[in-house]
Structure 1
Amino acid sequence: MNRYESLLDEAYSEGITVKEVKLKSNSDGLYVSNKIALNKNRLNTNDEKYCILAEELGHHHTSYGNIIDLNDIRNAKQEYQARLYSYNKLVGLTGIIKAFEAKCTNRCETAEFLGVTESFLNEAIDCYRDKYGISVELDNYTICFIPNLWVYQQL
């Protein structure tokens, strides 16, 4: 079972129906009332589906109401919370550390190790940089976000 299938199982166990359909909109996915639609027109790989499914699960856990109009600050905040949920679920600071321990030397290798798209990883790193600043310490590691992502183990 791959990571996408495992996340599908998690959704189903929470009573959420997930379908891959052709959406008329340019959205990659939509969440409404315990139903997730993934856009077959836009998502070609399991990594892409994995990332979007995690974000839509984030909406299930963090959002309420119709939040399509992102010009409304309340909706934009809910969108941010759903994305943060997906970043933490699929990447997380511990995921970055595990990639470092697995000898990943760049973002492409890190994304592949985590099973996410490189653009998703880049967005997660940007989010963490905005949240934590230049760096953050976790356990015996320091994760630096500026100027480039790098991790070092404290002795």
Structure 2
Amino acid sequence: MNTYECLQDEACRDSINVIDYTFHSDRIKGLYCDGTVAIKKDMNTIQKTCTLAEELGHHHTSVGDIINTNSVQNRKQERQARLWGYNKLIGLMGIVRAFNAGCQNQYEIADYLDVTEEYLQECINCYQSKYGICTTVDNYVIYFVPYLTVTEMI
């Protein structure tokens, strides 16, 4: 079972319907509303995975209609939903696992984690704004600048 199918199963267990939908705007990849996630129909499975993770993040973290991005509160909820998705698909330990598996660049890390390179970069940017230059997890230091790298503490 691939990551997208696992997320669909998780959504089903949480009584969330996931449907493919033809959006009339290229800007919209997915929407969550009242227990239903609509995913843009003409994306590949990896793109759908990243989109579904964020939309599930809205289910778990957002309240009300947050379409209006002029509202600071709505932007905060959008960020929380994205962070939920990043943690679900990637997480700090996912980055460590990728490096331990021999991944040496962002393409390989994204491929290993079953996400797009764009989604991985957005995650790194988010983690950098949250943690700063680096953070530690277990026996590892994850550096976000000047580029993503992991070192094991001795």
TM-score, normalised to structure 1, is 0.97
2:23 equivalent in structure 1: 23
Offset at 1:21? 1.1
Structure 2 residue identity aligned to 1:37: A
Per the alignment, in what secondary structure is the counterpart of residue 136 of structure 1?
Answer: strand
Quick check: 1:53 aligned with 2:52? yes
What CA distance in whole angstroms lies between the structure 1 residues aligned with 2:68 and 2:94?
A: 32
Q: Which amino acid aligns with 1:93?
A: L
1:64 CA displacement:
1.1
> Matches of 2:152 and 2:74 in 1, distance apart?
39
- The equivalent of 1:128 in structure 2 is 127
Question: What is the identity, as a one-letter code, of the residue corresponding to 1:89?
Answer: K
Aligned residues with identical type, % of pairs? 50
Could you list the per-position Cα deviations for residues 71-110 of structure 1 after superposition, in whole angstroms to 9, with x for gaps in the alignment? 1001000000000000000011000000010000000000
C-alpha displacement at 1:23, in angstroms? 1.5
Let me know the Cα RMSD of the aligned residues: 0.7
Determine if the alignment matches structure 1 residue 91 to structure 2 residue 108.
no
Secondary structure, aligned partner of 2:68: coil
Aligned residues: 153
Q: Does 1:70 align with 2:77?
A: no
User: 1:56: how far off?
Assistant: 0.2
Deviant stretches of 4+, over 6 Å: none
Matched, 1:149 2:138: no
The alignment partner of 1:95 has SS state of helix
How far apart are the structure 2 equivalents of 1:103 and 1:71?
42
Report matched runs for 1:100-119 at 5 Å: 100-119=99-118
Unaligned 5+ segments in structure 2 are none
